[in-house]
Amino acid sequence: MLTATRLAPCDFVAPLFVRAGNNVKSPIKSMPGVHQFSPDTAIEELKRLESLGVASYILFGVTDATKKDATGSHAHNERNEVCSTLKLAKGAGIGMVAITDLCYCEYTDHGHCGPLTSSGESVDNDRTAEMLGQQAVVHARAGADIVAPSGMMDNMVAAIRAALDADGKTDTAILSYAVKYASSFYGPFRDAAESPPQFGDRKTYQMDFRRHEGEALREAQIDIAQGADMIMVKPGVPYLDILKTVTEKVAAPQGIPTSAYHVSGEYAMLKAAAANGWIDEKGTVLETMHAFKRAGASFILTYYAGQLAEWLQ
């Protein structure tokens, strides 16, 4: 009766990795229970999740190496894996909220989050922001309800909002990865999305975890001012303090929902510990999700979405 935080299946967003092909359901070794799907098998998985009460999903494209290039042009192909899955899901009558990841690391041959500058040493921020607007329009036309830019480019939200509005997609919402740290917890995701950087790292555009919370507050405020409808803090558990501070000081006073991403490394650690009998998996995962809610998250992106829904039912 006096519980302060509660969980429901609709609190969770299920990430799905989609690749070309038919009847593909390929397990990801570093993320037990998670798979790469072809569009047809992704639809079956979405039907299963919807039946459990999971209300939304986010799609990440997995691009064949032969389709990758320096600019990630396959991201703009209206028949790529993400767009094909969106169209199939809408055609199948799936009522879940469709979110798509906006980035280029899965589509570029160098694995960075946008085209590089002429020196080839860093991402061209302004060109990438403009291209993200184009990618957002492609996704919105295919059926995305929400687009989620994850590359941490300056002014990306403004460029996306302007492009969507110019195309008449004024109702397509933006979930900004506003506070995303350069983290070691992303390793398994890069296996799943086949998108590790081929040189260097992403510390020039993702945030330094050694910095004070003031930078996180500023990043969140900028994205909200540019038109973000909701924002995210990523990774999850190591940044609960940031999630709480951003929610209380920036997002909540403006009526903006915040979310947390329980990332691949966090998921993989829990799975490994549970497989070894070192933790009670269900109890530990539920405790973790309550921590996100207690810190202020309105919803949580997690690879445990389906299992959580089963446990809560």
Question: Tens digits of per-residue pLDDT, 13-54?
Answer: 999 999 999 999 999 999 999 999 999 999 999 999 999 999
68 in catalytic set: no
271 in catalytic set: no
Q: Among candidates 105, 127, 107, 109, which has minimal Cα distance to 117? A: 127
Q: Cα 122–124–125 angle (5° rounding)?
A: 115
Mean pLDDT of the chain: 94
What's the pLDDT at 112? 85
Q: Average pLDDT in the 2-13 region?
A: 95
Q: State the catalytic residue, choosing from 234, 244, 249, 282.
A: 234
Q: State the catalytic residue, choosing from 180, 203, 271, 293.
A: 180
The answer for 28, left when phi > 0, alpha when psi is -120 to 50, beta otherwise, is beta
pLDDT exceeds cutoff 70 at 126: yes
What's the pLDDT at 86? 97
pLDDT exceeds cutoff 90 at 217: yes
Q: Could you check whether the bond before residue 238 is cis, i.e. omega within 30 degrees of 0?
A: no
pLDDT exceeds cutoff 70 at 79: yes
Q: Average pLDDT in the 62-82 region?
A: 92
Percent of residues, the chain, with pLDDT higher than 70: 97
Q: How far, in Å, CA of 179 to CA of 60, rounded?
A: 19
Q: Average pLDDT in the 198-216 region?
A: 84
Q: What is the pTM of this model?
A: 0.95
pLDDT exceeds cutoff 70 at 200: no
pLDDT exceeds cutoff 80 at 274: yes
